[in-house]
């Protein structure tokens, strides 16, 4: 076994075991560091910390590689649909025809919402953000579908919970949209595929016959696959952390939804479109926008740019960029926001600030343009991200639960507060 050594002022403090992962990556195993030496490590934002062992997703941010269970993301978007990829992430292998059909049947069987849950929607104000409804409904599922004893038949029971979540969250997402636009709900329908079903629940109209555009259904499949997992990101870490307390699956997923909502994470897809719209309306030059993004005294950042792990072009952004052309071509239209985004990317990628810091478009830079072309409103974009990320969250929750090394998540801190003090009687306090 390889070992590293830690020296303090020339004196050897500790020998650290080195773990080498399946792709040759090296890690220092500091599990016993504090116990053996009294030292802890400091790593704000966990940029350098491996919090778990995982066999779900492989990501090389320097080379722009993303693989789910060993399969390159580029192949998965071309050859599979979202249901197959969800199965892959959760079960660890791609389903065969029989397994695929059985899974689709289960997704259909569990797509309806409990009537009392349908009533919840009524009481949300019309200006609610859909992510707040999604998070609340997700954790509410636990009350209506309490988990069954996993000890009985763990595989079967977990399959049931997982398909329930995957299927009902799609219904919840569509109902949320209908509620916010003041239209009646449309129930899920067995005859449609996963994505067609979602589009049908979103856009069916009582006055005009609706049939999901196959180009949109295909694009939606691809987008959900692009979002399906991304190893230890903020929301997945939240899911694993909540799961580590042995909270139920629905609670952990709800935490993931809340973490995803923020504009530094999944909320960036909404923020990108809002930013592009503002630029278009203000008529500000792109050079000036980029100057603002570089100015440390200005809180403005270029949304959809930069990533903690990608130091090259995000492979998901590459795929999303080419999908924009396909979807717009099918509509026989163009989008001024796409033209603007392409120009903004060019200005930023030629700027030394962005070059030196390896800041490239991330997945959120172009996906909003595709959602927009499909008629999905801006405030629903992060919900779409959540629907895609759902199988990844579930896979990580299950992996954490089966991990022989698992422990409750409980980091240490560097204390910066006062030294111990005496409590003075209230009349003696300043």
Distance CA 350, CA 341 (A): 14
Tokens representing residue 220 in the block: 């939606």
Residues 269, 274, 275: CA angle, nearest 5 degrees: 95
302 in contact with ligand CMC (CB under 6 A): yes
Residue carrying the six token digits 């989008």: 335
Distance CA 88, CA 99 (A): 11
392 in contact with ligand CMC (CB under 6 A): no
Tell me which of 170, 265, 372, 396 binds ligand CMC, using CB under 6 A: 265
Among left, alpha and beta (phi > 0; psi -120 to 50; other), residue 375 is left
Tokens representing residue 369 in the block: 């343009």
**Stretch of residues binding ligand CMC (CB under 6 A), selected from 21-29, 182-190, 301-309, 401-409:** 301-309
- Detail the DSSP E strand segments found in 218-303: none
The 3-state DSSP class for residue 311 equals coil
Tokens representing residue 156 in the block: 């079967």
230 in contact with ligand CMC (CB under 6 A): yes
Would you say 100 or 294 has its CB closer to ligand CMC?
294
Q: Which parts of 358-377 interact with ligand CMC (CB under 6 A)?
A: 359, 362-364
**Stretch of residues binding ligand CMC (CB under 6 A), selected from 62-70, 165-173, 251-259, 295-303:** 295-303
Helix (H) or strand (E) holding 225: helix 214-227
CB 16, min distance to ligand CMC, A: 25
- Note the maximum CA span of the chain: 80
Tell me which of 268, 337, 369, 373 binds ligand CMC, using CB under 6 A: 268
Residue carrying the six token digits 């909502």: 261
Would you say 147 or 291 has its CB closer to ligand CMC?
291
Q: Note whether 345 and 361 are within 8 A (CB).
A: yes
Per-residue binding letters, 303-322, with ligand CMC (x by CB under 6 A): xxxxxx--------------
Regarding beta strands 71-72 and 26-28, do their DSSP bridges make them parallel or antiparallel, or are they unpaired?
Answer: unpaired
Where in the sequence numbering do the catalytic residues fall?
Answer: 307, 364
CB 389, min distance to ligand CMC, A: 9
CB 307, min distance to ligand CMC, A: 5
Would you say 302 or 341 has its CB closer to ligand CMC?
302
Tell me which of 95, 130, 256, 266 binds ligand CMC, using CB under 6 A: 266
Q: Note whether 174 and 186 are within 8 A (CB).
A: yes
Would you say 84 or 351 has its CB closer to ligand CMC?
351
Tokens representing residue 73 in the block: 């993301």
**Stretch of residues binding ligand CMC (CB under 6 A), selected from 84-92, 202-210, 259-267, 326-334:** 259-267
**Stretch of residues binding ligand CMC (CB under 6 A), selected from 66-74, 91-99, 265-273, 411-419:** 265-273
Contacts to ligand CMC by CB under 6 A? 45, 230, 233, 264-266, 268, 293, 301-308, 357, 359, 362-364
């Amino acid at each position: 076994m390889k070992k590293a050594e830690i020296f303090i002022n020339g004196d050897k403090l500790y020998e650290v075991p080195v773990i080498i992962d399946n792709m040759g990556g090296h890690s220092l195993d500091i599990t016993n560091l504090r116990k053996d030496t009294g030292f802890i490590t400091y790593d704000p934002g966990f940029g350098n910390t491996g919090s778990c062992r995982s066999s779900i997703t492989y990501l090389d941010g320097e080379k722009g590689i993303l693989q789910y269970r060993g399969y390159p993301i580029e192949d998965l978007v071309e050859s599979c649909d979202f249901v197959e990829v969800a199965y892959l992430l959760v079960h660890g292998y791609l389903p065969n025809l029989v397994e695929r059909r059985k899974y689709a049947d289960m997704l259909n069987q569990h797509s309806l919402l409990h009537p009392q849950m349908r009533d919840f929607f009524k009481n949300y104000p019309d200006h609610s953000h859909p992510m707040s409804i999604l998070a609340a409904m997700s954790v509410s599922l636990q009350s209506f579908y309490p988990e069954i004893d996993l000890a009985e038949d763990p595989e079967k029971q977990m399959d049931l919970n997982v398909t329930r979540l995957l299927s009902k969250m799609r219904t919840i997402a569509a109902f949320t949209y209908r509620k916010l636009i003041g239209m009646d709900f449309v129930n899920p329908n067995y005859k449609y595929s996963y994505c067609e079903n979602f589009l049908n629940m979103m856009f069916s109209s009582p006055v005009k016959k609706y049939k999901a555009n196959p180009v949109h259904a295909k694009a939606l499949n691809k987008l959900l696959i692009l979002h399906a997992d991304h190893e230890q990101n903020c929301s997945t870490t939240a899911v694993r952390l909540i799961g580590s307390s042995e909270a139920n699956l629905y609670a952990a997923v709800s935490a993931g939804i809340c973490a995803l909502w923020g504009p530094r994470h999944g909320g960036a897809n909404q923020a990108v479109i809002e930013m592009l719209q503002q630029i278009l309306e203000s008529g500000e030059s792109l050079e000036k926008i980029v100057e603002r993004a570089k100015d440390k005294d200005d809180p403005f950042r270029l949304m959809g740019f930069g990533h903690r792990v990608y130091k090259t072009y995000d492979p998901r952004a590459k795929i999303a960029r080419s999908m924009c052309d396909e979807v717009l071509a099918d509509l026989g239209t163009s989008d001024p926001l796409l033209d603007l985004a392409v120009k903004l990317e060019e200005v930023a990628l030629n700027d030394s600030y962005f070059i030196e810091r390896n800041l490239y478009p991330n997945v959120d830079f172009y996906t909003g343009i595709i959602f927009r072309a499909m008629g999905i409103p801006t405030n629903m974009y992060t919900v779409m991200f959540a629907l895609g990320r759902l199988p990844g969250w579930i896979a990580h929750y299950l992996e954490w639960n089966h991990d022989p090394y698992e422990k409750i998540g409980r980091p240490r801190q560097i204390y910066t507060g006062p030294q111990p003090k005496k409590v003075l009687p209230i009349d003696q306090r300043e």
